[in-house]
Amino acid sequence: MRNKLKKAFGLILVLCMTASNLPYMEKAKTVHEESVVSYEESGDIVRGFGNKIKEKKQKKEKFRVNKEDKNGKAWNRQMIQAELPETSDEVIKVAIIDSGINFSTDLNVVERMNFIPDDECLVLYEDISGHGTAVAGIVGALDNEEGITGINPGVELYSARVLDDKLEAPVERIVEAIDWAIEQDVDIINMSFGIEKNVATLEAAVERASEAGILLIAASGDGDEVAYPAAYDEVIAVGSVTTEGLPAENSADGEALELMAPGENILSTGIFDGVMGVSGTSMAAPHVVGAASVLMELNPDMPAEYIRALLNYSANLYGDSDEYGNGVIDLEYAIEINDKFQKLYEKHLKNASKNKKEKEKQKDKFWGEVLKTIPENEKAVETFTEVEVVEGMWSKENHQNAVGNACYGESLSPEQRKILLYACKYPDGFIEEDENEPLEGMYTNPYHGFLWSGDKSEEISGESNYIANYIFLTRVAANGGETRDEVNNKEYPSSGVRDKDIKRIKEDISPSEIGGVDWSTVFAAVGSGIENTKENRSLFIYGIAMHHVADVFAHSTWADITRKVKENGEWIERNGIQRIVHSAGADKTTMRPNRYKAANIAIKNVLGKACSNAVGTINDFAIPVYSWGLLEEERFYLGNFQKYAQEADSNNYNAWEKAGNTEIKAYRYLNLSSTPLDYKDFEKAQAQ
C-alpha cells in the first residue's frame, strides 16, 4: 500500500519524489497548508492533446525475461529500447531543476545557477544528496568508458540548484528557476520533485514555459495521486516501473499519469565520477527526458507537443491505464514510426486552426488516422532478473583509475557517503540551528585552501601553507581526531604548518568535539543511526581535508586573466598572471575549466587516503597531464606550490625533483614568487 505524502513542518513547499537509498534521501513530504500563499483546489484533470490516448488498446501482459547487462547495456536502457543515438548537429538543451549537479568530467553542464540564498559551496560537492547529479546522469552521462552512459550523451545540461541539502525548497524558488530556464531557451525541463496541492504561481510558471515551446517532464510522485507539477496539463507525468515491468510500490497512479519508465534499482552518476544505486519516480522522469531529447534531434522542426504525442503513442501499454498511463516508453519504436507519424501530424495539425472547436476536430482526424495506419506497440516488454545495484561509488571499470589500490576493491557504503559528503560541506557552515557555524571564518581558518589567512584587507595576518595543512589534517583523520600521538607522548609531525594553524586545528578537532560541537550531535545531523566511532570520525575529517583540497584550486589558483582594478579613482582592465578571486569566477567551472578537472582528480586521491586510512603527501596534488589533457591556453598555477611542497613534504619533493618532472609532467604549477603573493604585491609588480 502506498505511503501518503507526509505533512511537512514550516515553510517548505516543494520536495523531492526520491529514492530511499540516496544519501540524505527522505520520504517525500508535502506542504503545510498554512504556508501556501495561493492555493486552489485542482478538481478533475482534463487531458488535452498528447496526453492519455483514450482509444489506445490495452493488451495482455507479455514479457520477455532477460538477465541484466545484455551486451554491456544497463537494464533500464534495454527496457526502453534506447540505443545510443547517432551523432547529430542538433544540440538539445535540458534544464535539470533539482539539487544541483556535482562537477564531473562525465556530465556536460554548460550553465549553472544556484537559487539557494547564502549557499556558496563549490560545484565539486554542491549536491551532497546526489539527487540532481543522478538525474543528470540518466539523461546525459557521456559515452566515455567512465561511470554510466546516459540515454543521450549529446545533450547540453543546464543545472538549476533549487532543492537544499534536505531536498526541500519554497515554490517561489522553483518558479524563479523555471523562468531562468525559459531565458536560457532550453528545450526540455526535468522536474523530479512535487507538491500535493496546486499553487497558482507554480501553475503560471509552468504555463509560461509551455507557451515558450518547452517540453515539461516531471516525476508523478509517491503518493496516492499524481503530484504537482506533474499533474498539470502542460507536463508529462512519469511513473516508475520495476525490473519486472510492474508499477513500483510507491509510484503514484490515476488519471493524470501519462507515461512509465524504469525507476527502481537504477545505476547513475554518483559523487566524484562514481556510480550509485538510485530508485524512485524521480529517476523515472529523466528516462523520458533522455528519450525525448533523442526524438527532438531527429525532428528539429517539430514542436514539443509533437514529441509528446509520439512518446505517448509509441509507448508499450500492457496494463490498466490508471496504473500505466499510455505505457512504458519505447524509444526504438518511436524512432521506427516517426516518419509516418510526422507526415500525419503535418497533414492534420501543423497548421491547425486557432479556433478551439475546429482544432479539436483536426485532432480527432489525426488520432483516427494514426490508429488506422500505424500499428500500436505490440512488442513484449523486456524484464530482467539478477539485477545488481552498486551501493558504492565506482564501477568496476573506473574504480582502480580513481584511487589506485587504496580501497582494496571495496566501495563506500551509503552511510559512509553521507558522512563524507556532509563533511565536505561542513567548513562552509552546515548546522542551521547554530548562528556561529562550527568552522566559521573562511579567511581565518586552515580549511579553505588559501595561500594566507586573515581578512580581505591589504594587511595579511600571516600566510598559511595549504599543502602542509592538508597533510596534517589527514594525519589527524587517520587517528580518529587525535591531534597528537598520546601513546608515545609526542606531537605529530607537522612540517610546514604555521603555529597559528596548528593551534586552530587543535582547538577545533578532538576525539570528543568538532568545532566545539559534540561528535554525537554532528552525526545525528548527518543521519539517523550513525554512531560516534573512531572510523566515522576519521572519515568525517578526511571529508574536511577533501574540502580543503578542492578550495585550493578555487582560492589559490593564478592564471592569465583580465582583471578590473581601480587606479586614480577609475576602474581599468589589466592583463597578466592574477589570482582568480571570487569576483573573477573562483567558483565558476568556466573559469580555467582544467583546474576543476584537476581538483576532481586530487579529491579522488584524498578519497584513496580515506579508504586506506593513510596520511596524505604532496603527490596527492600531482595531476598527470595525460589524464585530462592540459592545454597551454588553459594553463593555471597554484600559488607558492613549490615552496609549500618543499616545506610540507621534503622527502617526496626531493624524490620528485631527483626523478625529474619532465617525464610525466605531474606538476604543471609554477611558484610565482619567492614570497606569498597578495594583491598589493601583485599590483606593485604590474606597475613595474
In the prediction, which pLDDT does 657 show?
Answer: 72
For residue 435, is pLDDT > 70? no
Hey, what amino acid is at 97? I
- Return the exposure string of 625-636: e unless at least 16 CB atoms fall within 10 Å of the residue's CB, then b: eeebebeeeeeb
Residue 354: predicted pLDDT: 80
* pLDDT greater than 90 at residue 615: yes
Residue 538 has pLDDT above 50, yes or no: yes
131 in active site: yes
pLDDT more than 90, % of the chain: 45
Average pLDDT, the chain: 79
pLDDT at 204: 97
| No. of helices (H) and no. of strands (E), the chain | 19, 27
pLDDT confidence of 431, banded at 50, 70, 90? very low
Grid cell at residue 633: 591556453
Instruction: Name every residue whose Cβ is closer than 8 Å to that of residue 29 and which is 6 or more positions away in sequence.
Output: 5, 6, 7, 8, 12, 15, 168
243-273 pLDDT tens trace = 999 999 989 999 999 999 999 989 899 877 7
Q: 125 and 425 in contact (C-beta within 8 Å)?
A: yes
- 194 touches 228 (CB < 8 A): yes
Average pLDDT over residues 308-323: 93
The model's pLDDT over 95-115, given as tens digits with 9 standing for 90+, comes to 999 999 999 989 999 999 999
Q: Is 582 considered catalytic here? A: no
Residue 281 exposed, middle or buried by CB count within 10 Å (0-12, 13-18, 19+): buried
Q: Which amino acid is at 320?
A: D
- How confident is the model at residue 456, as a pLDDT? 43
Alpha carbon distance 278, 535 (integer Å): 26
For the stretch 42-83, pLDDT in tens is: 332 222 233 444 455 666 565 565 654 544 468 999 999 998
pLDDT band at residue 568 using 50, 70 and 90 as cut-offs? confident
d(CA 682, CA 516): 38
Statement: residue 176 has pLDDT above 50: yes
User: pLDDT tens digit string along 265-310?
Assistant: 898 998 777 788 889 999 999 999 999 999 999 999 999 999 999 9
Q: Which range has highest mean pLDDT (193-207, 401-415, 587-601, 659-673)?
A: 193-207
pLDDT of residue 570: 85
pLDDT value for 606: 93
199 — phi, psi (to 5°)?
-125, 125
The confidence score (pLDDT) of residue 485 equals 81
* pLDDT for the residue numbered 478: 95
Residue 600: its pLDDT value, please? Answer: 87
3-class secondary-structure state, position 281: helix
Please state which of the ranges 316-320, 336-340, 478-482 shows the lowest mean pLDDT.
Answer: 316-320
Across 119-133, 392-406, 434-448, 549-563, least confident range: 392-406
What pLDDT does 617 receive?
92
Which of the residues 98, 127, 164, 620 is marked catalytic?
Answer: 98
Q: What is the pLDDT of residue 147?
A: 84
Candidate ranges 27-36, 142-151, 348-357, 438-447; pick with highest mean pLDDT: 142-151
CB 235 within 8 A of CB 191: yes
pLDDT for 441 equals 61
Enter the C-alpha cell of residue 362: 483536426
What does R_g of the chain's alpha carbons equal in angstroms?
Answer: 27
Instruction: Say what the pLDDT of residue 630 is.
Output: 47
Q: Is the pTM of this model over 0.75?
A: yes
- List the catalytic residue out of 251, 282, 293, 556: 282
Catalytic option among 99, 106, 127, 131: 131
* pLDDT (average), residues 511-516: 91
**pLDDT surpassing 60 at residue 410:** no
- State residue 377's pLDDT score: 92
Per-residue pLDDT band at 438 (split at 50, 70, 90): low
Count the alpha carbons within 13 Å of 500 in the hemisphere toward its beta carbon: 13
121-135, 236-250, 464-478, 626-640: lowest mean pLDDT where?
626-640
pLDDT in the model for residue 474 = 97
Give residues with Cβ within 8 angstroms of 310, minimum separation 6: 295, 334, 337, 338, 341
- Please say if the pLDDT value at position 207 is more than 80: yes
Residue 130: which of 228, 266, 11 has the closest Cα?
266
Any idea which of 171-175, 214-218, 448-452 has the lowest mean pLDDT? 448-452
User: Could you give the angle at the alpha carbon of 166 between the alpha carbons of 165 and 172, nearest 5°?
Assistant: 90
What is residue 454's predicted lDDT score, i.e. its pLDDT? 41
Domain parsing of the chain, residue ranges = 6-17+25-46+80-340, 396-687
**Highest mean pLDDT, choosing among 46-55, 182-191, 505-514, 623-632:** 182-191
Q: Which of 51-65, 77-91, 576-590 has the lowest mean pLDDT?
A: 51-65
| Highest mean pLDDT pick, 363-367, 399-403, 436-440 | 363-367
Question: What pLDDT sits at residue 555?
Answer: 84
What residue type is assigned to position 166 of the chain?
Answer: K
3-class DSSP state for residue 218? Answer: strand
Task: Give the tens place of pLDDT for each residue, 319-362.
Answer: 888 899 999 999 999 999 999 999 999 999 988 878 888 888 99
Which pLDDT value is given to residue 653? 83
More confident call, 682 vs 605: 605
Least confident of 285-299, 422-436, 592-606: 422-436
As assigned by CATH, the class of the 6-17+25-46+80-340 domain is alpha beta
Separation CA 266–CA 440 (nearest Å): 38
